[in-house]
Structure 1
């Protein structure tokens, strides 16, 4: 896993990534964190989320996606369903769902440049060391980069 500091959405718009992945809940709510930033900047990604069944646990470990363009560059925004709900106490991140989603992303986006934030370790309360190991295993051999947010 490569790590850079910056703004994932800006880096994608500058052409650094072919796909960006963020964690979503299964409730079709992109109301906080990077999901809200994506919803505002790339509303078509939110529409892709709304095209899935709200509250369906079967979504865990899957994803929706949409190709967006900005600054003459095109990339895919991937809404990975890594937690069932945004409400609740404790760890809301589903480690198994993160692994399943990232393995599927590795297959579909094989050979492409993939960027992501601290999936599951922010508002979802997951342990980043655990999640990083899951992502490293799932994306082994792929060009993938953690973008630690700085404004």
Structure 2
């Protein structure tokens, strides 16, 4: 079992050799414009464009909680995983937007892709910014779903 590596830095500039997946948590409303996605959009245009199209065509695809869209941003080497892990964008009567079960389901798909590609995973403290998640609940999910499969995971604190 691997351990999570913590680095100070920018998750959009993954520090590893070989294939890499930058993973982040998206909402189920099609909203893109605050938080980590701003850094993604400054680095690459494709993830936002693909997410917006995925949401717009949701009646005909798998867009929804727990789904993941992989967007290749550097051929054969780097993907962005748009993981739908939050319901809405605001805290309300049903609590914070993060949905831990959807995050776990999405991480399973990310793990599958990482194993298929021999890729490492790079992410911010996923689900713990605007989604309102608690790192003490997210970190064990990363360990259970990714680290137990010996997938290298790096968490970046900007």
Shared fold (TM-score greater than 0.5)?
yes
Measured in 2, the distance between the counterparts of 1:102 and 1:78 equals 10
Render the CA deviation track for 1:10-35: whole Å, top value 9, x for unaligned. 236x8576110011001221111111
User: Where does residue 120 of structure 2 map in the other structure?
Assistant: 113
Query: Is the deviation greater in 132-141 or in 14-23?
Result: 14-23
1:82 is aligned to 2:82: no
Measured in 1, the distance between the counterparts of 2:97 and 2:105 equals 16
Work out the number of aligned pairs and report it. Answer: 146
1:8 is aligned to 2:15: no
C-alpha displacement at 1:58, in angstroms? Answer: 5.7
Measured in 2, the distance between the counterparts of 1:15 and 1:35 equals 23
User: Where does residue 48 of structure 1 map in the other structure?
Assistant: 50
Instruction: Give the secondary-structure state (helix, strand or coil) at the position aligned to 1:88.
Output: coil
Structure 1 contact 17–114 (Cα < 8 Å) conserved: no
Alignment partner of 1:102 out of 96, 99, 107: 107
Task: Note the residue ranges of structure 1 that are not aligned, 5 or more in a row.
Answer: none
Structure 1 contact 4–148 (Cα < 8 Å) conserved: yes
User: Where does residue 25 of structure 2 map in the other structure?
Assistant: 23
Cα pair distance change 1:26/1:48, threshold 3 Å: same
Alignment partner of 2:135 out of 108, 128, 134: 128
Measured in 2, the distance between the counterparts of 1:58 and 1:127 equals 24
Structure 1 contact 82–97 (Cα < 8 Å) conserved: yes
**Shift >4 Å, 4+ stretches:** 14-17, 54-58
Instruction: Give the secondary-structure state (helix, strand or coil) at the position aligned to 2:127.
Output: coil
- Alignment TM-score, normalising by the size of structure 1: 0.85
Alignment partner of 2:96 out of 83, 91, 94: 91
Instruction: Give the secondary-structure state (helix, strand or coil) at the position aligned to 1:3.
Output: strand
Instruction: Give the secondary-structure state (helix, strand or coil) at the position aligned to 1:104.
Output: helix
